[in-house]
Amino acid sequence: MGGHASGRELDGLAAAARAALVRRIEASGAWAADPGWREAFAAVPRHLFVPYYYVGVAGGYERRWGESTDPGARERWMRGAYEDTPLATRLRDGELLSSSSQPSLMADMLAALGVADGHTVLEIGAGTGYNAALLAHRLGDDKVTTVDLDPEITESARRHLAAAGYHPVVVTGDGARGVPERAPFDRIIATCALSTVPRAWVAQSRPGGRILMPLATGLIVLTVAGAGHAEGRFLHTPAYFVPLRGAGRPGGEPVQLGGVPRRAREDDLFRFLLALTRGSLDPQEAHALWEQEGRPQRERYGITVRGEREWAWLDDPEGPYAWPLPS
């Protein structure tokens, strides 16, 4: 680009970088089950949702900013905005508060959500607004509601969405409580980690609706049967998200892994089992089960919500391996 990154040159770079990102996601197979998402990712300009972001460097973070006076810095910002990687967008005292998720993971989640024309969607965790823009592009502004606890986040999401030409409903509130005034919803998708399924989400879903959320370093897809009952299995995909703030956020002390072989301690699938059974199995019990059952993949696990009960299970909701989730 040389030493003069003009607005026109940046627009050209954005178009080329966005097209390259779409090709990478397509090659990953992320939206094979629902190719309709390809057009949304091709159309929605991610860079408008990350006017600045932070990149990890030795000793902390480096801020990349689209309004930098340095043409090279603006080019790095633009190229980084279209990398298939999560971007840290809000920090406080060194703690990550908000991020823009990895686009291919977003594509995986949106495809698994199983939307259809006319569906209404509630997104928990507004973030930058980018995911809400993808949903609004596919379904229409009036079909999409996004909620976040932090008014600074919802205000910036509104600005980003408006700049990109989208106007879904943006609500400031506790996502664990849903948005009852906009219910019922056909689909609910969370972009923040929880340790339990909020009952409000089940209550605010139509019968046959779907809830997709990160839990225990995985992604659970629940089908709502009505009357406080929902059930489903985990996707194969690992997922690590910023925790939900407000009611329902994950908690607990770090698990001590003394006595567990190093190979298991470093295995993502074993650590998934530990997170899922926290408070029910100690690490040694979890390791014995993991080895006995052939080191199961995430897809063999599921969750059932029935009235006031909520439990995780391996293979069968009524089988021998079931563990209550924290209330």
Residues designated catalytic: 98
Residue with tokens 């309004």: 67
The residue count for the chain: 327
Q: How far apart are CA 183 and CA 205, in angstroms?
A: 7
For residue 120, which of 54, 195, 210 has the smallest C-alpha distance?
210
- Residues ≥6 apart with Cβ < 8 Å to 284: 259, 260
C-alpha pair distances (Å), 124 with each of 58, 131, 221? 32, 10, 15
Residue type, 100: S
Torsion, Cα 289 216 178 46, to 10 degrees, reads -150
